[in-house]
Amino acid sequence: TQPEKTWFDSGDISTGSKFAHEIEKGIKDTALLVIVTDSYSSRSWCRKEVLFAKHHQRPVVIVDAVQEREIRRFPYSGNTPVIRWKGQAQDAQGVVDLLLREVLRHAYSEESLRQRKREGDLVLPAGPELVTIVHHKKDQVVLYPDPPLGPEELEVLGGRA
69-123 pLDDT, tens per residue? 988 889 999 899 999 999 998 999 999 999 999 999 999 999 999 999 999 999 9
List of domains in the chain: 9-157 (3.40.50)
Phi-psi region of 16 (alpha: psi -120 to 50; beta: other; left: phi over 0): left
What digits encode the pLDDT tens for the residues 20-79?
777 787 888 899 999 999 999 899 988 999 999 999 999 999 999 999 998 888 999 989
pTM: 0.83
